[in-house]
Structure 1
Amino acid sequence: MDSTDETLGEIPLPPYVTAEDVTFALRAVRVHAAEHQPDGPRCRNDRAPHPCRLHRWGRRVLAERGLTDHDIQTMLAEQETPRP
Structure 2
Amino acid sequence: MDSIDEILGELPLPPYVTAEDIGFAVRALTVHAVEQWPDGPRCRNDRAPHPCRLHRWGRRVLDQRGLTDRQIRTLIAEQEATRR
TM-score bucket of the superposed structures, by smaller chain: over 0.9
Q: Partner residue of 2:64?
A: 64
Determine which structure has the larger helix proportion and give its number. Answer: 2
Q: For the residues of structure 2 that align with 1:3 and 1:74, how far apart are their CA atoms?
A: 33
Q: What RMSD over aligned residues (CA atoms) do the two structures have, in Å?
A: 0.8
Kindly report structure 1 stretches of 4+ aligned residues shifted beyond 2 Å.
none
Unaligned runs of 5+ in 1: none
User: Could you tell me the percent identity over the aligned residues?
Assistant: 76
Report the TM-score when normalising by structure 1: 0.94
Unaligned runs of 5+ in 2: none
Q: For the residues of structure 2 that align with 1:14 and 1:26, how far apart are their CA atoms?
A: 15
Q: Partner residue of 2:6?
A: 6
| SS of equivalent residue, structure 1 residue 81 | helix
Report the TM-score when normalising by structure 2: 0.94
Shift of 1:64: 0.5
